[in-house]
Amino acid sequence: MKFDRGRSIVKRRIFIAGLLLFSLLLPVVTHRAIAQTPVAIVVQAQADGFQLGEDARQFYRSRQYDRAVRRWREAIDAFARRGDRLNQARSLNNLSLSYQHLGDWQKAREAIADSLGLLAGTTREEIDAIAHAYRVRGRLQLALGRAENALESWQQAIELYNRLGDREAVRRTAIDRAQAFKRLGFYPRSCETILSLLDLDATRCEAIGRQKPDELISKLDRLTPTDSDLFALKELGDLLAIVGYPRHAKAVLNYTLERSRTQPYLDLQPSLLLSLGNTHRILEQVERAIDRYQTAEIKTSDPVLKLRARLNQLSLQVAGDRLQNSAILSPMSLSKIREDLDRLPPSSTAIELRLNFIHSLACLQTQHNPVPLDLASPIFRGCHTENQNNFKPTNLPSWDEITTQVQIADRQAESIGNPRLQAQITGYAGAIAQQQQQLKLAEELTKNALQIAESLNSPEFGYRWQWQLGRLEVIKGNRDRAIAAYRLAFENLQILRGDLVAINPDIQFNFRDSVEPVYREYVDLLLKPERVSQANLKQARKAIEALQLAELNDFFREACLDAKPEQIDRVVDQAQIPSAVVYAIVLTDRVEVIVKLPQKQELQRYRTWISQSQIRETLNELSDRLSDRTRLAIEIQELSQQFYDWLIRPGESLLEANSINTLVFVLDSQLRNLPMSVLHDGDRYLIEKYAIALTPGLQLLNPRPLTELELTPLTAGLSEERTLQERNLKFSPLPNVPIELTEIESILPKTQTLLNREFVTPELQEKLKKSNYNIVHLATHGQFSSNLEDTFILTWDALLDIDRLNNLLERDRDRAVGAIELLVLSACETASGDNRATLGLAGVAVKAGARSTLATLWSVNDESTAQFMEQFYRKLIQIKANQNIGKAEVLRQAQLSLLANQDTDKKWNRPYYWAPFILVGNWL
């Protein structure tokens, strides 16, 4: 529910566009039936009933719903007088629609109930009228926030339409169901439903995402879209944006926009423009997003769509700190938004729009009258910007005015009987009270919100209000109560896993503001005392591991780990290689380190008091020096020694006493861009003392030593320059790749190699499908990024994103011929300026299903890489003869071979050349 503050982290957020327009569900035309009464009377009755119905439809189309109601009622009476139950039922359906637009929910319910009570369904016409009644009832249920009930009604309608063979009606109702699935957060079900209507050779949105956007457009160009196809494509575009494929979403939405430029589809255009605005927002194309919102607002006559476009402009400009010269923030504009909201009848959509408005107003107040972060409500955490108070809108709405908006929303939620929205609104009221430091009131309201959320079994709301309650207990100094509240918030997050974006369709969800702080603050509380119990140490470690997995789930927009994992403690205790697992997490005022030693049940812990800002500053400077090949070793060591002091030195005696020779790091996201091998104790690098590996958390993918296996590599690489016109990307040649691959083949004779033009996606797929390769070595350009779409591997003919790479590799696993033991990516790099780029590397490691992944943090001289890889594979084959050597030790020895190189011309002993190589996953 949090907003982006205009920083680079916006790349991994999800913005949900809102509800599909109900223009698919216009009033149904009543049909004349054969009369059994005298002709003269029948003719007069028909003229009255049908003419009244036509008048009602005209009023409905012009949004004069009160006048439409009067005409429908008159038509219903006319049909009742002549005993025409069929057209009476049809008119009741349309009467319900008109009442829904007026917000008269009780009369809307009564009308649809009366309609369903009139007909027995003995004729095709009656079956059609009953099916339409179910569609209207589903619309009513969704408007009241009861998506589960709407799904049932629409399924009943589909069954009846199938009996009639009305394919187009089935398709339209299926789109309704997809919308309900989306509202419930069931995005895979929604995608499956929409894709079942479109001839795109895909059943899941992930399959669409594996295609290039231009490939997708080529498939769309082969379609001859029906009316319902255009609505389905609009829905598909929204879903693709939600599940992490905004470029594909943009392609689909632009295609649909172009196809809707003629009648009768023009009414769809404003909705498409709004969706495109949301998609541009995800892509950080702010000016284009604002332009789309403004165009949508101008083009539509729908008051809800017009208001949504204006509110999205407001939230985007507040979130991006783009307030100077913003007309949307003028007193007149804000007043107009209030007036337009007040004109809407109560509905779940109207309430969600008002919550959107409330959030933007509260963010404005927070930005210009800031509360210290440790006293602020977590709900408004994302509202703090780096450039606060530079611009203050005229007549900034007061907290009292914002509270009034909350009270209106609460009354509306009560009037439509929607407790889920009541829980959300009550929690917001508590957050606003906390922003004003009315702590007693904030606590009371937060507990009320929690009570409602728990009665509904709604962890998506419960975790927020438990978090808010925990923060209030911290302010009051009640540490134990705070821990209890945070523990419940943490447990609810574990229940939610990948479903966190389905909280409010009109308030932007941001993992960095809405989820990650819960884990960090929980760990902070658990580890605050000087002495910490083993129970709290284990709980803190569990939270650190859960945060790592939550980051990956957010990266992929789905639960990403579906293999059977192995607990890392069991691996450490049973391995012949003495290994310690080091968990490091950066908190606001210190670094906490937890150590798991082999054969020891008790965890060890130490900490260093240092500000997060100092760590970040030192890390940025060290990263800059490491990626500069001209930097001398001494320039690296003076900074890397500080990290050694913070992360390793306090635990040196523990490691020595337990004869540890391998360190397995579970690192905070802020530390993952730093290769641990480069840490320096003043005399030696850490890699000179220990083998080193990284793992995303407590679990590994069924690790086992390579001593049990015969090594069968598949190698592939590019040495020639490549240009991808569609992405405007140019990749430099890697002239030493042939040498690298030839050396591997000489060391492991069973190696199969694909070089340059042979290294195309179909050939790679075919090789992986047919043979049992347990090592896959890719010597090619690639990039790791915190943005899923910017993480890729280059083949001769394509960019493979993580999903496509996983699709290639999982064919091997599907045939049960064994997992890939080692995936090597020897010329990749992390995205420049992305301090969370190794999330992409962890994503590749996990998604590919390889037990271990060897990769580089930055691209280095490919001659030194070829030398490194030769040494790595020569050492790797020695594992067969020595069970005390694992992959991490092999990596260490290959790095030491470069470190020991004294060639003054090559300078390979500098950290720039040997430090970027890291091993993720199984170190055995």
Give the number of residues written for the chain: 924
The pLDDT tens digits for 206-246 are 788 878 788 888 888 888 888 889 999 999 999 998 887 88
- pLDDT band at 75, cuts 50/70/90? very high
- pLDDT band at 34, cuts 50/70/90? very low
Residues 444 and 534 in one domain: yes
pLDDT at 577: 92
Domain presence at residue 573: yes
More confident residue, 25 or 207: 207
Gap between the Cα atoms of 134 and 137, Å rounded: 5
Residues 652 and 744 in one domain: no
- pLDDT over 90 at 902, yes or no: no
Residues 524 and 577 in one domain: no
Residues 618 and 510 in one domain: no
Gap between the Cα atoms of 263 and 838, Å rounded: 49
Residues 544 and 615 in one domain: no
726: domain CATH number is 3.40.50.1460
Domain presence at residue 180: no
Mean residue pLDDT across the chain: 86
pLDDT at 278: 94
Give the predicted TM-score (pTM) of the model. 0.85
Query: Residue 701, by phi and psi: left (phi above 0), alpha (psi -120 to 50) or beta?
Result: beta
For residue 329, give the DSSP letter.
G
Mean predicted confidence (pLDDT) in 899-911: 90
Residues 6+ apart with CB under 8 A from 818: 772, 774, 812
Helices (H), 387-477: 399-415, 419-435, 439-455, 459-476
Residues 759 and 626 in one domain: no
The pLDDT tens digits for 559-615 are 555 444 558 888 899 888 999 999 999 999 999 999 999 999 999 999 999 999 999
Give the 3-state DSSP-derived string for 474-540, with helices as H, strands as E and coil as C: HHHCCHHHHHHHHHHHHHHHHHHHHHCCCCCCCCCECHHHHCHHHHHHHHHHHCCCCCCCHHHHHHH
Gap between the Cα atoms of 397 and 358, Å rounded: 10
Domain presence at residue 466: yes
More confident residue, 68 or 724: 68
Residues 508 and 585 in one domain: no
- pLDDT over 80 at 450, yes or no: yes
Contact criterion met (CB below 8 Å) for 188 and 199: no
Number of structural domains found in the chain: 3
The pLDDT tens digits for 766-816 are 998 888 899 999 999 998 887 777 888 999 988 888 777 877 876 444 444
- pLDDT over 70 at 529, yes or no: yes
The pLDDT tens digits for 389-436 are 455 666 788 999 999 999 999 999 999 999 989 999 999 999 999 999
The pLDDT tens digits for 818-877 are 678 899 998 888 766 676 777 777 777 777 778 889 999 988 877 899 999 999 999 998
Give the 3-state DSSP-derived string for 157-188, with helices as H, strands as E and coil as C: HHHHHHHHCCHHHHHHHHHHHHHHHHHCCCHH
C-alpha dihedral sign at 840, 842, 843, 847: positive
pLDDT at 322: 59
Domain presence at residue 237: no
Gap between the Cα atoms of 175 and 197, Å rounded: 9
Domain presence at residue 202: no
pLDDT at 36: 32
Give the three-class secondary structure for 335: helix
The pLDDT tens digits for 362-388 are 998 988 888 888 899 999 887 866 554
- pLDDT over 60 at 22, yes or no: no
The pLDDT tens digits for 724-765 are 876 778 899 999 999 999 999 999 999 999 999 999 999 998
The pLDDT tens digits for 612-635 are 999 999 999 999 999 999 999 999
Distances (CA, A) of 140 to 145, 360, 392: 9, 28, 41
Instruction: Tell me the one-letter amino acid at 634.
Output: I
Domain presence at residue 728: yes
pLDDT at 561: 52
The domain boundary residue, chosen from 648, 668, 688 = 668
214 phi and psi angles, rounded to 5 deg:
-70, -30
Instruction: Tell me the one-letter amino acid at 794.
Output: L
Domain presence at residue 443: yes
The pLDDT tens digits for 111-146 are 999 999 999 999 999 999 999 999 999 999 999 999
The domain boundary residue, chosen from 554, 575, 600 = 554
The pLDDT tens digits for 83-112 are 999 999 999 999 999 999 999 999 999 999
Distances (CA, A) of 136 to 100, 173, 557: 9, 10, 33
Instruction: Tell me the one-letter amino acid at 279.
Output: T
- pLDDT over 80 at 323, yes or no: no
In this prediction, what percent of the chain has a pLDDT beyond 90? 61
Domain presence at residue 609: yes
Give the 3-state DSSP-derived string for 688-723, with helices as H, strands as E and coil as C: HCCEEEECCCCEEECCCCHHHCCCCEEEEECCCCEE
- pLDDT over 70 at 671, yes or no: yes
Residues 514 and 614 in one domain: no
Residues 370 and 477 in one domain: yes
Residues 426 and 530 in one domain: yes
Residues 576 and 523 in one domain: no
Question: Hey, what's the torsion of the CAs at 426, 427, 431, 433, to 10 degrees?
Answer: 30
Contact criterion met (CB below 8 Å) for 650 and 606: yes
The domain boundary residue, chosen from 668, 692, 727 = 668
Mean predicted confidence (pLDDT) in 533-548: 94
Residues 546 and 615 in one domain: no
Supply the range of the domain harboring residue 657. Answer: 561-668
